[in-house]
Amino acid sequence: MARKFFVGGNFKMNGTVSSIKEIVNNLNNASLDPEVEVVVSPPSIYLHLVRDNLTKNIEVAAQNVFYKGNGAYTGEISVEQLKDSNINWAILGHSERRTILQESDETVSLKTKYATENGVGVIWCCGESLEEREAGKTIEVVSKQLESLKSHISDWSKIVIAYEPIWAIGTGKVATTEQAQEVHKAIRDWLKNVSDKVAEETRILYGGSVNEKNCGELGKQPDIDGFLVGGASLKPAFVDIINCKKQ
């Protein structure tokens, strides 16, 4: 089965009402490759603004979701609230939340389990630090993150994996095409521990300073099924990244 190319845009903690509207208008007016699945993820305060104004052909993701239902969890967002707001995706396990906010593999896995079991798709992030890369531990680190996820979930159909080397996020550094493909293939091979079907069908995105200049070559790799884009998703060039397979 051919895996549908997938491009996610993670706005992170960026944007104003004015700039978010400009991004939405740009996407609404762009000619986007219909063979690409697109999901954008604004800060939570702008989720409704984006969902209410963005073309329905593009899905919207929260940047976080809690691992329990509605209740006394100040500052969190529930899956039920996302569904009620027509938000069908969440980004979980991003390195900024793993490192800055100290989210453990266990916490990320619990969030992913609750989200997927209750109807929200997850862009699940994994990746290694520069120190781990230089120590030759990339596959070990990513495998440990995957093991935690596997111990909590059984249905992988609502999960898209995003490999994001931490040392390449927002730094301007990009893993070489060969480095990215090598890790993506290792992830796909690891997924055979779940099943051959999951390994074949799960989409694996690359994230880490993806832009309109490097996306074309990366997108040609056999195990790179799209991108999770950070800073470039705030710019008009995001359209070029979405359309990279047509170029």
Active-site residue numbers? 94, 164
Strand spans (E) along 42-166: 59-62, 89-92, 121-126, 159-163
Nearest partner of 40 among 164, 57, 98, judged by Cα: 57
Alpha-carbon span 173 to 164, nearest angstrom: 12
* 117-127 CB burial, b ≥16 within 10 A, e <16: eeebbbbbbbb
C-beta atoms surrounding 24 within 10 Å: 21
